[in-house]
Amino acid sequence: MSKLPYVVVIAVVAVIVRLGLRRRARARTPRPGAARAGRRPRPVLGDTGLVAAREIRERLRGRVFWIVTVILFGAVAAAVLIPALRGHGTASQRIGVVAGSAPLDAELRALARGTGLSVTITTEPGLARARAALAAGRLDVVVDGAGTILVDKPVSPADTSAPARYVRAVSEALGAQRAFARAGLTPRQVATIAGARPVPVASLQPARKARTTAETTALLGVILTFIVLTQYLTWTLMGVMEEKASRVVEVLLAAVRPIQLLAGKVLGIGAVALAQAVALVAFALALAEAAGSSLVHGAAPLVAAAALGWMVLGYAFYSWLYAAAGSLAERQDQVQSLALPLSAPLILGYIASLVSVSSGTPSLLVTVLAYLPPTAPFAMPVLVGFGEATWWQFALSMALTLACTVLVALAAARVYRRAVLRTGGRVRLRDTLLGARAPARGGTPSPRGLAR
Amino acid sequence: MTGPLELDRLSRRFGDVTALDGLSFSVPAGQVVGFLGPNGAGKTTAMRAIFGLTDLDSGSVRWAGAPVGAAERRRFGYMPEERGLYPNMPVAEQVAYIGRLHGMDARAAASAASGWLERLGVADRAASKVGSLSHGNQQRVQLAAALVHDPEMLVLDEPLAGLDPAGMDAIGEVLVERAHSGHCVLFSSHQLDLVEDLCESVAIIDHGRLVASGTVDELATSGPRRLVVRVEGDREGAWARAVPGVRVSEVNGGEVRLVLDQGADSDAVLDAARAAGRVTTFTFERRRLSEVFREAVSW
């Protein structure tokens, strides 16, 4: 049972990667005239693979990558462990009773059940000893049968934690009992009043349920997706821009096609992103398992797998756009204005999904965004977390995103091919997208488009 | 000139600017070919066209009679005008990577890279990042990147710009050796004296068209004749300015260098010189490449 989530995650990732690779390998059909091509059999992915391998080496070489990785692992560890530890901390309250009685103990236990706490009740010989135990942290609350409640730190009326509610409930109950006693009620009457139960309140709207662990996983998935996407998409954009700015792209394009260079960069950086995300998710699940966190139970692993799958799709969709944007720029200061319009839908999807998870209900906005490729990577995992997406809805959204990714990739390759060699100022998108002239790649002019 | 690489009526306009205007010439194998022209003549555009790095409006580039495609370009080496290397990548790894992109396997690329770095005198920097090297050393690494896959044709855009004499000698030596082992070598330069020393042939272009081409010897012995005359007592060569059909191209240490028009008579020049004083030098000289260049591009 415990190994299952990992196996599922790894299997899904492996299938996606394999499918991606096969699609690319098939796309590389040799041209008939190129019979004299190689002095060696080309590697599996050809030049695209070489470019991708260089990207991976380059990223792993950078110090930034390792710093970010350490920070992400730290953040994941904190996100998993802190709730788990807090859960342990509030699970049991130690109550010291001075001058108590069996009915008082029974009352204290009943109130604890009412606030969802478990309590350990010890009888203290005197108030001074009890006070000392409280100060030393051996007790959480001291209840004096004579009519006082002692705590270490003041309890704010605004504090809604279970221990705070418990202290307030004990204080009110003891106060009421003393009042009943002063009123001269018989024990029987006191018992009847103490056993009073509130009249149920019915509402027209259904009650809002507490957040499930699947929703928490979805929340973490959305945050992780956002961090990973913004990080690696920026690298893609900067990487393309730097190749253009350093003019190394001229040397590279003298040997390989623009589409190979572009695809290699997208695949290479994507592979690093995916590896990091898989490592983070595996780490989170393993840690949650070890710490006894509820994150590994129920639908949570499935939601984690869905979030990871959508991260891959999100990267696939956006990476082409960011790479094309990078080819339009030549300097750092041009990057800002190019990245902003691209990051807007990303941020919209992220914020809308976050708000939806926090509010505990899938809003109409998120339900719509789950089918739009730019925002689906955030919104769809949230719907899965809420248990609101059927398999076919999930598949439909994926198909839509994949189809749009292909279109975006084609347009991006066109922009990239036309812009990356054009130096001396920012290239306008219109010029690259609408330019109708057929390129003559040294040979006769032909209407060959992107696939040079 | 005929040779395996042929540029056939290449035309390319950038807006109002005509970069290439029906440029045609060939690059023979086995000799270093200099590619000359004033700034903006279209040299870089023509070189980029060979590698498909610029779109052409018309015309074609052929190698051994067939249009140049991706497979052919794999066997060419290119050193662009604006040098391009990854500044953060180690030198040897970068050269080997470019070798691999040209179709070498990993082991061959690594050994060729270290061989060329050794040959060009930058082997001790093989593990350094490219960005940490001096300009001259980066240029050597760039040349190594163009040579690593043992290309059949080498195209170099201003390979000698900004180099010290030792750097020029090192790179020049490699170019001559490549050509003499039967490869095509085409390089552009502004340093005409150097081109004259290195090249057997040149192609000179202006305004996107070929204006002169041939072997350096052919070009030097064709065209208007040169006379170098020294007349004692007239260090400025004032006597020559009155001789019809003769132009003074330069005065250097009492010697005047004269350009004779088609119909000018050298005997008449000698008579005029003797009338001005005792003649101690009277020599016919070859056209220098710089003169060929100036006359071709109508300076």
Q: Which of A198-207, A373-382, B284-293 has the highest mean pLDDT?
A: A373-382
pLDDT of residue A29 exceeding 50: no
Residue to substitute from B45, B53, B82, interface A, most A β-carbons within 10 A: B53
Q: If pLDDT is split at 50, 70 and 90, which confidence band does A288 have? A: confident
Q: What is the pLDDT of residues B130-162, one digit of tens each?
A: 989 998 899 899 999 999 999 999 999 988 887
DSSP strand E in A178-285: where? none
B268 and B192 inside one domain: no
Set of chain A residues whose Cβ sits within 8 Å of the Cβ of B88: 58, 61
Distance CA A293, CA A278 (A): 19
Query: Chain B residues with CB-CB distance to A under 8 A?
Result: 48-61, 66-71, 73-74, 76, 78, 80, 82-89, 97-98, 100-105, 145-146
The answer to whether the CB of B178 falls within 8 A of the CB of B154 is yes
Query: Chain A: nearest CA to B249, how far in angstroms?
Result: 39
Q: Of B195, B215, B235, which residue sits at a domain end?
A: B215
- Closest CB from A37, A247, A254 relative to B51: A254
The confidence score (pLDDT) of residue B299 equals: 53
ipTM for the whole complex:
0.85
How many Cα atoms within 13 Å fall on the side-chain side of residue B247?
8
Average pLDDT of the residues of chain A: 79
**Which of residues A420 and A17 earns the better pLDDT score?**
A420
Q: If pLDDT is split at 50, 70 and 90, which confidence band does A23 have? A: very low
Domain that holds residue B78: 5-215
B184 and B116 inside one domain: yes
Q: CB B53 to CB A37 under 8 A?
A: no
B203 and B96 inside one domain: yes
Q: What is the pLDDT of residues A36-86, one digit of tens each?
A: 333 455 555 788 999 999 999 998 988 888 998 999 899 888 888 877 666
- CATH code where residue B263 lies: 3.30.70.920
SS3 of A107-168: the string is HHHHHHHHHCCEEEEEEECCHHHHHHHHHCCCCCEEEECCCEEEECCCCCCCCCCHHHHHHH
The confidence score (pLDDT) of residue A435 equals: 56
Q: If pLDDT is split at 50, 70 and 90, which confidence band does A206 have? A: low
Q: If pLDDT is split at 50, 70 and 90, which confidence band does A21 have? A: very low
- CATH code where residue B92 lies: 3.40.50.300
B236 and B207 inside one domain: no
Closest CA to A142 of A176, A115, A170: A170
Distance CA A51, CA B89 (A): 14
| B5: nearest CA partner in chain A | A442
The answer to whether the CB of A397 falls within 8 A of the CB of A372 is no
- Closest CB from B59, B86, B105 relative to A40: B105
Lowest mean pLDDT among A284-293, A399-408, A440-449, B226-235: A440-449
Q: What is the per-residue DSSP string for B172-205?
A: HHHHHHHHHTT-EEEEE-S-HHHHHHH-SEEEEE
Q: A444 touching B, CB under 8 A?
A: yes
**Low-confidence residues of chain B, pLDDT below 70?**
298-299
The confidence score (pLDDT) of residue A439 equals: 38
Q: What is the pLDDT of residues A63-74, one digit of tens each?
A: 888 998 999 899
pLDDT of residue A181 exceeding 90: no
Q: If pLDDT is split at 50, 70 and 90, which confidence band does A1 have? A: very low
How many Cα atoms within 13 Å fall on the side-chain side of residue A314?
38
B18 and B113 inside one domain: yes
Q: What is the pLDDT of residues A400-418, one digit of tens each?
A: 999 999 999 999 998 998 8
Closest CA to A310 of A415, A215, A394, A214: A394
Cα angle B88, B91, B95 (rounded to 5 degrees) comes to: 115
- Closest CB from A51, A250, A257 relative to B70: A257
Set of chain B residues whose Cβ sits within 8 Å of the Cβ of A235: none
Q: What is the pLDDT of residues A141-156, one digit of tens each?
A: 898 887 788 888 888 8
B150 and B261 inside one domain: no
pLDDT of residue A123 exceeding 60: yes
Closest CA to A278 of A254, A300, A305: A305
- Closest CB from A248, A257, A444 relative to B85: A248
Which residues touch A16 (CB under 8 Å, ≥6 apart)?
A309, A312
- Closest CB from A252, A255, A444 relative to B67: A444
Q: What is the pLDDT of residues B245-261, one digit of tens each?
A: 888 888 888 888 988 88
B177 and B261 inside one domain: no
B31 and B80 inside one domain: yes
How many Cα atoms within 13 Å fall on the side-chain side of residue B260?
19
Split into its structural domains, chain B has a count of 2
Q: If pLDDT is split at 50, 70 and 90, which confidence band does A378 have? A: very high
Structural domain boundaries in chain A: 4-24+46-61+212-433, 91-193
Q: CB A38 to CB B103 under 8 A?
A: yes
Q: Of B194, B215, B236, which residue sits at a domain end?
A: B215
Set of chain A residues whose Cβ sits within 8 Å of the Cβ of B70: 31, 34, 37, 257, 452
B183 and B50 inside one domain: yes
Q: Of B173, B196, B215, which residue sits at a domain end?
A: B215
Q: CB B69 to CB A39 under 8 A?
A: no
Average pLDDT of the residues of chain B: 89
How many Cα atoms within 13 Å fall on the side-chain side of residue B17?
6
Q: If pLDDT is split at 50, 70 and 90, which confidence band does A12 have? A: low
**Which of residues B140 and A188 earns the better pLDDT score?**
B140
Closest CA to A93 of A155, A145, A160, A166: A166
Lowest mean pLDDT among A69-73, A265-269, A356-360, B266-270: A356-360
The confidence score (pLDDT) of residue A388 equals: 82
What's the CATH code, domain A91-193?
A: 3.40.190
The confidence score (pLDDT) of residue B241 equals: 83
